[in-house]
Structure 1
Amino acid sequence: MELSRRGLMGGVVAGAALTALPAGAEAETSGYTTRIDWERFLGEQDLVWQRIPRAWYEGPFLGNGFLATAVYREPGANAVRFTVDHAKVQDHRPRFGNEWGVARLPVGRLLLTPVGRITGVDLRLDLWNAELRGKIVTDRGELAIKLFVHAEKSLLHLEVRPTSGERAVKLEFQALDALSPRTIREPPPATFPLNPKPVSRTVNGLTLVTQEMVAGGQTATAYRTRERHGRTDLLLSVEHSFPDRTAEAAVNTAITTAPAPEVLRQQHQRWWHRFYRKSFVSVPDALMQSFYWIQLYKLASGARREAPIMPTTGPWLEPTPWPSVWFNLNAQLEYWPVLASNHLELDPIPRTISQHQQILVDALRPEFQADSMGLRRSTDPTFQDAGFVGSPLHPSPDPEIGNLPWLLHNAWLHYRHSMDERILRDTVFPVLRRSTNYYLHFLRKGDDGRLHLLPTYSPEYGVAPDCNYDLALLRWSCRTLIESAKILKISDPLATRWQEVLDQLVEYPVDAGGFMIGAGVPFAKSHRHYSHLLAVYPLHEVTWEQPERRELIDRSLKHWLSFEGSLRGFTFTGAASIAAQMTRGDDALRYLREFVARFAQPNTMYFEAGPVIETPLSAAKSLQDMLIQGWGGLIRIFPAVPSVWQDVTIHDTRTEGAFLVSAVRRGGRTRFVRILSEAGQPCRVRTGIDGPLTVRGCSRWSVRDGVVELGLRRGQEALIHAKGERDFTIAPVRITAPGRRWGLPALPPGGSAVPVDISASFDNDGLSNEFTSRDGDFDGMGDTYPAAQLPQTGSVTDDGVLFEFHNGDEASRNNTVANGQTLAVPAGRYVKLHLLAAADTGNVEADGAVVYADGAVPARFRVTAWQQRPQFGESEPVATTLMHTPSGPVTRQVSIFHQSVELDAARELSAVTLPRTSGPRLHVFAITLEKPK
Structure 2
Amino acid sequence: MNPSARPTLFLIIPLLGAMVCQAAFSAAPDSPPPHASENLRLNAPIKSWDEAIPLGNGMMGGLLWGEGSTLRLSLDRGDLWDERTTGEKEWWKKHPWNSLKDGGDPWNAYYNGITPTKLPAGRLELTLDPSQTIKSFELNLASAEGLAHFKDGPEARAFFSAAQSVAMMRIPGKPIQAVDLIPAGAGKERGNAGPSSGGAVAALGYPPAARGQSNGMQWYVQEADAGFKYCACVATQRVNDETLLAIAVTSTNDTPSGGDLLALAKARCTKALAQGYADTLAPHAAWWQDFWGQSSIQVPEAHIQRYYRFARYLYGAGSRKAAPPIPLQGVWTADNGGLPPWKGDYHNDLNTQMTYIAYQEAGNFEAGESYLDFLWKLTPTFRQFARDFYGTGGLSSPGVMSLAGQPLGGWGQYAMSPTMSAWNAHLFYLHWRYTADATFLKNRAYPWCSEVGQCLAELLKPDEKGMLVLARSSSPEIFNNSPRSWLKPNSNYDLMCMKMLFLSLQEMADAQNKTGDAQKWAQLAAKLGDFHAAPDGELLLDAVTPLRESHRHLSNLIGIYPFNLISPEGGTTDETRIKTTLASWDKLGTSEWCGYSWAWMSCLRARIGDGEEAVRHLDVFTQAFVSRNGFHVNGDQSGRGYSGMTYRPFTLEGNFAALQAAQEMLLQSWSPTPGKRDSEVIRLFPAVPWRWHDVTFDDLRAEGGHRISARRENNATVWFKIVAGSSGIVRIRDSFDGRTPKWTVKGVQKIGPNFEVLLKKGETLEATLEKPDQLPAEPANSARPLVMDSSTIVPNTLPLRIGSDLDGQSNFQGDMARILMIDHALTDKEVAALADKTSETWTQIPGTLLALDGTPAGINATQAKLTGDAKVATAVDMPGQSFSLTGKSWVEIPHADAQLGKTGLTLTAWVRPTAFPGASMRLIDKSPVGIATGYLFDTYPGNSLRWSVNGNALSFAANLQPNQWYFVAATIDFKTQSRVLYLNGEVVAKSN
When normalised by structure 1's length, the TM-score is 0.69
C-alpha contact 1:220 1:239 (8 A) present in aligned 2: yes
Residue 871 of structure 1: how far off its partner (Å): 12
**Given the alignment of the two structures, is residue 338 of structure 1 paired with residue 359 of structure 2, yes or no?**
yes
Name which of structure 1's ranges 567-576 and 431-440 shifts more when overlaid on structure 2.
431-440
Which residue type is aligned with residue 379 of structure 2? Q
- Quick one: distance in 1 between partners of 2:389 and 2:247? 49
Length, aligned pairs only: 711
Structure 1 equivalent of residue 472 of structure 2: 455
Partner of 2:856: none
Is residue 453–residue 467 contact of structure 1 (8 Å, CA) maintained in 2?
Answer: no
Whichever residue aligns with residue 236 of structure 1, its letter is I
Q: Which residue in the other structure is 2:694 paired with?
A: 647
Write the distance in 2 (CA, Å) between the matches of 1:264 and 1:361: 43
- Residue of structure 1 equivalent to 2:655: 616
Q: CA deviation at 1:195?
A: 2.6
Equivalent position to 1:554, from 574, 579, 583? 579
Distance (whole Å) between structure 2 residues aligned to residue 513 and residue 195 of structure 1: 57
Residue equivalent to 1:769: none
More strand by share: 1
Per-residue Cα deviation, 1:718-751 (whole angstroms, up to 9, x for no partner): 11223799xxxxxxxxxx99999x9xx9x99xxx
Greater RCO, 1 or 2 (C-alpha within 8 Å, sep 6+):
1
Partner AA of 1:434 in structure 2: E
Question: CA offset at residue 288 of structure 1?
Answer: 0.8
Deviation at 1:281, TM superposition (A): 0.5
Q: Is the 8 A contact 2:739 2:769 kept in 1?
A: yes
| Distance in structure 2 (CA, Å) of the matches to 1:480 and 1:185 | 50
Residue aligning to 1:422: 439
Aligned to 2:58: 65
SS of the residue corresponding to residue 521 of structure 1 reads coil
Look up the equivalent residue of 2:759 and give its one-letter code: L
| 8 A Cα contact 1:145 1:161, kept in partner | yes
Secondary structure of the corresponding residue to residue 735 of structure 2: coil
Within the candidate set 112, 131, 137, 1:123 is matched to 137
CA contact (8 A) 1:218 1:245 kept: no
> Distance in 2 between the 1:142 and 1:456 partners?
62
What does residue 103 of structure 2 align with?
Answer: none
Amino acid at match of 1:719: E
Give distance in 2, aligned partners of 1:623 and 1:316.
24
Which residue of the partner structure matches residue 299 of structure 1?
A: 315
**Does 1:48 pair with 2:41?**
yes
Q: 2:246 aligns with which of 214, 228, 235?
A: 235
Q: What is the identity percentage for the equivalent residue pairs of Structure 1 and Structure 2?
A: 22
Q: CA deviation at 1:224?
A: 0.6
CA distance in 2, matches of 1:233, 1:520: 65
CA shift for structure 1 position 481: 1.5
Distance 1:566 1:436 in 2: 33
Shift of 1:371: 1.5
The counterpart of 2:219, out of the listed 208, 211, 218, is: 208
The secondary structure found in structure 2 opposite 1:281 is strand
- 2:614 is aligned with 1:588: yes
- Equivalence for 1:503: 526
With over 3 angstroms needed to count, the CA separation of the structure-2 counterparts of 1:278 and 1:189, relative to structure 1, is closer
**Which amino acid is 1:332 matched to?**
Q
Change (3 A) 1:509 1:737: closer
How far apart are 1:365 and its partner, in Å? 4.7
Residue 134 and residue 541 in structure 1: after superposition, are their counterparts in 2 closer, same or farther (change >3 A)? same
Q: Which residue among 657, 662, 681 is the counterpart of 1:634? A: 681
CA change 1:451–1:384 in 2 (3 A) is closer
AA aligned to 1:303 is: S
Question: d(CA) in 1 for partners of 2:399 and 2:435?
Answer: 28
In structure 2, the gaps of 5 or more residues are 1-26, 88-109, 479-484, 635-647, 672-679, 773-782, 792-824, 826-940, 956-971, 977-990
Residue range with higher mean Cα deviation, 89-98 or 511-520: 89-98
1:269-288 pair list within 5 angstroms: 269-288=285-304
Q: CA deviation at 1:189?
A: 13
Superposed displacement of residue 178, structure 1? 9.9
Deviations 1:695-721 (A, max 9, x none): 655333212234111211111111122
Instruction: Give, in angstroms, the shift of residue 201 of structure 1.
Output: 2.0
State the partner residue of 2:378: 356
**How big is the shift at 1:489?**
2.4
Preserved CA contact (<8 Å) 2:603 2:657: no
State the Cα distance separating 1:416 from its structure 2 match: 0.6
Q: 1:584 to 1:702 in 2, by over 3 A?
A: same
Aligned equivalents of 2:741, 2:84: Cα separation in 1 = 63
Distance 1:223 1:540, change over 3 A: same
Deviates more, 1:49-58 or 1:596-605: 49-58
Q: Which residue of 2 aligns with 1:110?
A: 124
The answer to whether the 8 Å contact 2:142/2:288 transfers is yes
Q: CA deviation at 1:453?
A: 3.5
Alpha-carbon deviation of 1:107? 0.9
Work out which of the residue numbers 602, 605, 624 in structure 1 matches 2:631: 605
Shift of 1:185: 14
Q: Deviations over 1:771-820 (max 9, x none)?
A: xxxxxxxxxxxxxxxxxxxxxxxxxxxx9xxxxxxxxxxxxxxxxxxxxx
Q: Which amino acid aligns with 1:321?
A: P
Does structure 1 residue 320 correspond to structure 2 residue 340? yes
Shift of 1:629: 0.3
Match of 1:535 in 2: 559
Which one of 369, 384, 393 corresponds to residue 371 of structure 1? 393
Q: Distance in 1 between matches of 2:595 and 2:943?
A: 29
* Residue 212 (structure 1) shift: 2.4
Q: What's the CA shift string for 1:851-909, capped at 9, x where partnerless?
A: xxxxxxxxxxxxxxxx999999999974599xxxxxxxxxxxxxxx99999xxxxxxxx
CA contact 1:377–1:403 (8 Å) conserved in 2:
yes
- The verdict on how the C-alpha distance between 1:72 and 1:359 changes in structure 2, with shifts beyond 3 A counting, is same
Deviations 1:507-542 (A, max 9, x none): 212225821111222212121111111111101111
C-alpha contact (below 8 Å) 1:66/1:88 kept by paired residues: yes
- Residue deviations 1:739-774 (CA, integer Å, cap 9, x gap): 99x9xx9x99xxxxxxxxxxxxxxxxxxxxxxxxxx
- CA 1:48–1:869: 2 relative to 1, 3 Å: farther
Judge which range, 430-439 or 540-549, deviates more.
430-439
> Offset at 1:245?
4.0
Of residues 715, 720, 745, the one that matches 1:668 is 715
Q: Higher mean Cα deviation, 111-120 or 254-263?
A: 111-120
**Larger deviation: 624-633 or 220-229?**
220-229
Distance 1:600 1:345 in 2: 26
Cα 1:489/1:504, change in 2 over 3 Å: same
Structure 1 residues 635 and 134: CA distance shift in structure 2, 3 A:
same
How far 1:117 moved relative to its partner? 9.8
Structure 2 counterpart of 1:174, from 171, 175, 182: 182
Distance, in Å, in 2 between the alignment partners of 1:284 and 1:900 is 29
1:522 counterpart residue number: 546
For 1:688 and 1:694, locate their aligned partners in 2 and report how far apart those are by CA, in whole Å: 11
Q: Aligned partner of 2:184: which letter?
A: L
SS at match of 1:272: helix
Q: Deviations over 1:80-102 (max 9, x none)?
A: 32101111222233567776444
Give the corresponding residue for 2:269.
255
Indicate the larger mover: 210-219 or 359-368: 359-368
Superposed CA offset, 1:38-78 (max 9, x none): 46x5211011122322323322111111111112337xx97
Query: C-alpha deviations, 1:575-608, integer Å up to 9, x for none?
Result: 1111112211111111111212321221111123
Q: 1:438 aligns with which of 430, 435, 455?
A: 455
The structure whose Rg is larger is: 2
How much has 1:574 moved relative to structure 2?
1.5
Residues 195/362 of structure 1: CA separation in 2 closer, same or farther (3 Å cut): farther
Secondary structure of the residue aligned to 1:268 is helix
1:485 to 485, 495, 509: 509
Using the alignment, how far apart are the partners of 1:483 and 1:49 within structure 2? 48
Distance 1:874 1:635 in 2: 45
SS of the aligned residue for 1:201 comes to strand
Report the equivalent of 1:910: none
Question: Any gaps of 5 or more consecutive residues in structure 1?
Answer: 1-31, 391-395, 726-735, 749-798, 800-866, 882-896, 902-926, 929-933
Cα drift, residue 108 of structure 1: 1.0
In the alignment, structure 1 residue 147 sits paired with structure 2 residue 120? no
Q: Please state if 1:467 is matched with 2:467.
A: no
1:191-237 CA distance string (max 9 Å, x none): 99623322122233333322223212321222111123232211111
Give the aligned CA root-mean-square deviation in angstroms: 4.2
